[in-house]
């Protein structure tokens, strides 16, 4: 049996191809993450050179005293739950419609995908004008009560305003993933199900949806990551108002670190947020992975 020893040529090959990726990943991801752990244990204001070590005091203050952070977390959780469900429902609905034999299929796919390419800040300003000016004018002209609501003036309507814009922006992206999954369902399986008497709803629930479960896993993960990290849309559309009722966790962290000049406390909040989002994402992926089947 031949024993393979250390090979400099193989090591150099790995260094050439993997070295740049590892280097940039370390500089861009690992190093800032380790620094954030350090800053989260200090009371640095982000400006002065003096950094005072406070240990776990920031985390204790967040858990025990910071009601604004808990309120922002509760809002983000509700917003994420509602938005993720609606995004995926609209995305799979559009995908089912656009996998049929329609003359305008390619045009409709492009139209539904286009909102995703618009930046969040710009999109927020556009919808701010629509909610404040467009809906009000249309409601007065058509005498439709829903359009006359103060969409960005109350906590409840502002919440649903953010949900509407998020679903409108991201559903088209999820639609593309679902379309790819639907087109990869083996036609012989669908034919066999039809011969066994499976109707349309039965076909979807018992045959098609289990086969495209990997797409559900990806789409739910993406939607959750988008919604948990919502910042630019929240900033441009409501700025967390009225009275901080729609302030997301990301916006709360930003205001704490750069608005109140408490960088250490803001970094501690970001670390807590990272842990919670990571745990929720892991549980979601494991839950949907268990329901995947092979064709």
Q: What's the rounded mean pLDDT across residues 286-294?
A: 79
pLDDT at 293: 66
Going by C-alpha positions, the residue among 277, 267, 276 that lies closest to residue 221 is 277
Domain boundaries, the chain: 67-289
Distances (CA, A) of 101 to 28, 108, 198, 199: 46, 12, 21, 19
Residue 256 has pLDDT above 90, yes or no: yes
pLDDT at 161: 93
List the structure tokens of 226.
């988008």
pLDDT at 102: 81
Residue 2 has pLDDT above 50, yes or no: no
> Over pLDDT 70: what percentage of the chain?
97
pLDDT at 80: 96
Residue 1 has pLDDT above 60, yes or no: no
For the domain made up of 67-289, the CATH class stated in words is: mainly alpha
């Amino acid at each position: 049996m031949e024993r393979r020893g250390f090979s400099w040529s193989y090591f150099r090959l790995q260094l050439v191809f993997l070295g740049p990726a590892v280097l940039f990943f370390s500089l861009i991801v690992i190093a800032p993450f380790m620094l954030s752990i350090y800053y989260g244990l200090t009371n640095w204001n982000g400006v002065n050179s003096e950094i005072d070590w406070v240990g776990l005091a920031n985390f204790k203050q967040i858990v025990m005293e910071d009601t604004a952070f808990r309120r922002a977390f509760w809002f983000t959780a509700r917003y994420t739950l509602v938005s993720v469900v609606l995004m995926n429902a609209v995305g799979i609905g559009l995908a089912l419609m656009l996998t049929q034999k329609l003359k305008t299929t390619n045009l409709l796919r492009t139209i539904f995908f286009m909102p995703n390419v618009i930046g969040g800040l710009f999109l927020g300003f556009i919808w701010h004008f629509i909610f404040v000016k467009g809906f009000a004018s249309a409601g007065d002209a058509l005498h439709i009560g829903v359009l006359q609501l103060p969409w960005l003036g109350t906590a409840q309507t502002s919440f649903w305003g953010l949900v509407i814009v998020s679903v409108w922006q991201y559903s088209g992206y999820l639609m593309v993933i679902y379309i790819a999954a639907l087109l990869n369902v083996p036609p012989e399986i669908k034919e066999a199900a039809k011969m066994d008497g499976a109707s349309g709803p039965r076909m979807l629930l018992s045959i098609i949806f289990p086969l495209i479960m990997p797409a559900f896993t990806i789409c739910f993960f993406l939607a959750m990551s988008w919604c948990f990290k919502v910042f630019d849309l929240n900033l441009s559309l409501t700025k967390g108002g009225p009275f901080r009722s729609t302030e997301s966790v990301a916006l709360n962290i930003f205001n704490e670190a750069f608005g109140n000049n408490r960088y250490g406390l803001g970094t501690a909040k970001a670390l807590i947020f990272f842990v919670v989002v990571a745990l929720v994402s892991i549980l979601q992926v494991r839950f949907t992975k268990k329901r995947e089947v092979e064709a």
